[in-house]
Chain A
Amino acid sequence: MRELAEHILDIAFNSLEAGARRLRIEVTEESAADRITIRVIDDGRGMDPEEARRATDPFYTTRPTRRVGLGLPMLAQAARACEGDLVVHSRSGEGTTITAWLRASHVDRQPMGDMAATLVTLIAAAPEIDLEYQHEVDGRRFSFSAARARELAGETSLAHPAVARWLREYLDEQLHALGEARPTSPRAPAAESSGTPTVEREHEPPRAALPQEEN
């Protein structure tokens, strides 16, 4: 994968293949902490503890149902190469949450890439699911809801090529505006943490350990 957005697409397809009806993707960029956090939350069939434990093992696969493959190990590797990590939290029958975080300024960090194309691909592949996207850059937030888009599009499918084109332009524009607002000042050293969150327990997402930045 050349972009984080491609990893996200891949992980999100795992969710679709796990039968998710709701899929939430969160990308959080925090300059002060020098961190990018990616979270993919689904209500798919989930994994039992043993499957979840082995999900980032490249030599483990549930090929017949394709719930996991090389995708998770590749994102885990990309995260670990950038002083980050990936955790899998899953419950059989309830869903799966994948959280990955990376040091934003790391020399090996892949670019964010074309998130609009990733979202449009997901929407075109599964126009009926409730996809939610939230992208935060230093507390500024952009949110998108496929359910809301469906409401507005009425009887027209979100998979319609004309709608896909419109959505791509809309998402591109919004995400570009969000990125442009990113401060250009040199990164301030994070006073309260070493830059990478310490996640001792699988169930504790990295953001829980961080001071909340609201504005």
Chain B
Amino acid sequence: MSETKTLKSLDDLRRLREEAHRDIRVREATGTKIIIGMGTCGIAAGAREVMRAVLEELDKENIEAHVTTVGCIGMCALEPLLDIVQAGGARITYGKVTPERVPRIISEHILRGQPVEEWVVGRTTSFG
């Protein structure tokens, strides 16, 4: 354990931009938005790990979606909450989301357009 290991340097981040910058502009403009509740109630229920799982899954599957956060919306008992809004569609809210549930939500809802009904706790019609 005492062997010297070269740590990553922040400068290595430069290399990543080559790979990543191609899709980021479309990503911001893409129709899919994932919103994670990050109020005190959300964080206490594990929202940070849900955010981590979402970012990992998007990275792994190379999916374009804009990930954002929101504070407490009053459904504290159902946190962690995760909403998906797709262009022109309703805002679908998932409750009691765990990192383990994230891959299925992303593959069925975002990739196949089929919300995972058994985990849906709310639906709001888009005004956009």
Contacts and interface: CB of A to CB of B under 8 A. Distances in A.
Given A162-B16, A170-B10, A13 B55 contact: no
A196 interface: no
A168 B56 CA distance: 11
B48 A124 contact: no
A153 B19 CA distance: 11
Interface in B26-48: 27-28, 38-41, 43-44, 48
B10 to A, nearest CB: 6
Contacts of A164: 55, 59
Given A9-B48, A71-B40, A125-B69, A152 B59 contact: no
A174 B28 CA distance: 30
Given A1-B43, A9-B43, A161-B58, A118 B48 contact: yes
For chain B, what secondary structure do more than half of its interface residues adopt (helix, strand, loop), or is it mixed?
helix
Chain B: number of interface residues, binned into ranges = 35 or more
Nearest to B67: A124
B72 interface: yes
Chain A: number of interface residues, binned into ranges = 35 or more
B38 A125 contact: yes
A177 interface: yes
B16 A156 contact: yes
Contacts of B59: 161-162, 164-165
Contact of A153 (B17, B40, B48): B17
B16 to A, nearest CB: 5
A60 B16 CA distance: 45
Contacts of A1: 43-44
Contacts of B27: 157, 160
B11 interface: yes
Interface string A168-196: 11100110010000000000000000000
A121 B43 CA distance: 11
Contacts of B88: none
A167 B52 CA distance: 12
A156 B17 CA distance: 6
Interface string A1-34: 1000010011001000100000000000000000
Given A6-B48, A169-B8, A154 B17 contact: yes
A161 B55 contact: yes
Interface string B1-26: 00000011011111011011100110
A81 interface: no
A3 to B, nearest CB: 9
Contacts of A144: 10
B51 interface: yes
Given A1-B43, A10-B43, A173 B8 contact: yes
Nearest to B27: A160
Nearest to A164: B55
A166 B25 CA distance: 19
A71 B44 CA distance: 10
By Cβ-Cβ distance, the 10 closest A-B pairs, closest first, are A161-B59, A152-B13, A156-B21, A125-B69, A161-B58, A71-B40, A156-B17, A156-B20, A154-B17, A170-B8
